[in-house]
Structure 1
């Protein structure tokens, strides 16, 4: 895989899990990587804070690659027992955060005539995990946003795609309801959870020059779980 010379990638949620694996994989390919995270990373960032996102854009200037990995699982509870505050928090981080980052950084990519955006969705966006209505719905919104933006800027040289993993062994899933994780593993033909490095390889490909005729698409990485 090749990337533009002196390419810069910004990865949210880059201090751990899939984000950290993406940072390592892209850096090993010669891409200059900046990680942004609320818990560490090169830049401290709350992706749901519009002023913080705009401030980061003003500090960094144009980037070539944006990988939106910041996210939360949210409440693991029946929909009727999910509080509105928990619902809103899940959407603020997973959906608003992705929207704010794209809104801040994509325009400069368009002006430059080249860019890659990869948004982290989930197989739950397609299947709908029971007792995870907020998470499933928020990741479905990420998929719809990706499809819309990909079509909107399809002729600009900027490609926008999403990745939809099944359960992955990340710190974010360390506090996920064990019943949810067990269900995911039962539904996965490979009968295991994914590893962050496996997701990072797919993300790195989507960020490269190797991809030129795909935008607004969703790439499953689910150990065979995906059915459509």
Structure 2
């Protein structure tokens, strides 16, 4: 039987150092991996209420209207039915945000510094009506116990324009490509992907149901991946492997 003495000594050293290694790993985990070799601190940022994108800045800078419009948004759905694209596995998360109505309401509120539209709550109309019933019942109870006249709640405002629509298209991987090179275990590659999203919105007159305006907007989304790596033998029984990517 052939015995490799350097390898045997290495195994014995690892076995002797095993308790210390376990303690080091546990301590590093409890301390948030602050002193684990090679740990890179993440570039964290403080939370912000809303990112002022170029589109949002232009939306807020709209000239003031002659008078604001009373509008309502009931639904703004994802009509694509698309799931988030996955490689070799099934992805059950939706590719498009399910909060379209909330984002549309926020955009209407931001238009012209909140001067263009008076947005009326309709997405949570059920809870709103239930809360008004509770207030009305509490007022009636108080009035009956004290002999006062019941004060009615003011009527809800009605909208003159109804906004409807949704995300009607999500085409993923419409264009894909990339390039790369590798020599003696050292190489780098770049990949890119192009997706397309289509959104439809229309304004409906509440008085007669006529569609006053409609618009379809398309947005192209580019995704890119850069990777570099090293895979090479550094000794007769040792391999060096390094990877980096974004």
How high is the TM-score relative to the length of structure 2? 0.24
Specify which structure has the bigger relative contact order, considering alpha-carbon pairs within 8 angstroms and separated by 6 or more residues: 1
**Structure showing greater Rg:** 2
TM-score, reference length from structure 1: 0.25
